[in-house]
Amino acid sequence: MQNTKIQDQEGFKSVYFKIADIIMELVVPFQVEITSCLPSFRNFIVKDIQEPPLIKTKLSFSLPPENKKITKLLSDVSIVWGDRFLFEESSEHYIVSVQSENKDRRGTKMYSKKDFKESVIYMEEAELSVTSILSWVLMVAFGQAIIPYKAVLFHASVVVQGDKAYAFLGKSGTGKSTHSRLWIEYLEGVKLLNDDNPIVRIMEDGKIMIFGTPWSGKTPCYRNMRVELQALVRLSQASENKWKNVEGKEALVSVLPSCTAIRWNRFLFNQMVDSLEEIIRKVRVGQLLCLPDKDAAYLCSQKIINNK
């Protein structure tokens, strides 16, 4: 067994997280208190691991290396960070940059290898207490690095009833969180698993499991648990409640926009699509035109649970 007790490593220490049964190592300056700067990760900390971590990240307060290599701008659009965001590619790395709201600070940069399994995050220590940027860039790296392990980071709200989970997909503002709340309010024995970024994974036995994560949007729901996924439902706002079963290509098109994989890395993107094709063969997929009312929750539950 590898000993993972926190020890001074020339001013750094290692902390380990287990998310979706995948171990990530985060190396941070020794003075950093993880539960203060990453409170949503508290339930995912592990003290001992049985094997080397699959994903390694390091946080440094030093200046990022001077970039003398040619980079290609891939994106400068971010819902979260607006025009303060850049995503670039060099011959060896993907580079994520987020400018600080404080003009006197240098902002944050993350250099990741092309498979995202190793990353270094450069930021000022003062940023840890005033922004969620560290959690966000860890999600970016983790969400890409897990793809070869048949795991996909979804943008979804997920509820659990009994031993099954149901994930609601859709564009931002569609009403995913509202629909989850309707299930919790009007249906018996329902609880929230995650309200923004769960992970769906194909396990070795072929079962499709969905996991809570440290990333749950504005809703503080950080459950370190896994549940068998029963259905994926894409929501659309409408003037009436109407259900449609979808399969094959139509099902893939329904779930693909809610999945996290950078389109510029064809290897990772194709692996994610392969996993999605297996997931939709084993998990029911539906489309729900809906109002934000209890009848929508009843209709959805009857279609995917009672198969009516």
Taking the C-alpha atoms of residue 57 and residue 136, their distance in angstroms, rounded to an integer, is 13
Taking the C-alpha atoms of residue 217 and residue 164, their distance in angstroms, rounded to an integer, is 22
Question: Residue 58: which of 126, 3, 10, 106 has the closest Cα?
Answer: 10
Q: pLDDT by residue (tens digit) across 50-70?
A: 889 999 999 999 998 877 778
pLDDT computed for residue 9 by the predictor: 60
Q: What is the average per-residue pLDDT within 148-155?
A: 97
Q: pLDDT by residue (tens digit) across 60-97?
A: 999 988 777 789 999 998 888 888 999 999 999 999 99
Q: Residue 1: pLDDT above 60?
A: no
Give the pair of three-digit tokens for residue 133: 């940027």
Q: Which helix H or strand E contains 159, and what residues bound it?
A: strand 157-161
Q: pLDDT by residue (tens digit) across 255-293?
A: 999 998 899 999 999 999 999 999 999 999 999 999 999
Residue 135 neighbours by CB under 8 Å, 6+ apart: 38, 40, 41, 214, 215
Structural domains present in the chain: 2-145 (no CATH), 151-304 (3.40.50)
Chain centroid, CA 239 distance in Å = 31
Taking the C-alpha atoms of residue 292 and residue 141, their distance in angstroms, rounded to an integer, is 34
Q: What is the pTM of this model?
A: 0.93
Q: pLDDT by residue (tens digit) across 178-232?
A: 999 999 999 999 999 999 999 999 999 999 999 999 999 999 999 999 999 999 9
CB-CB contact of 236 with 55 (8 Å):
no
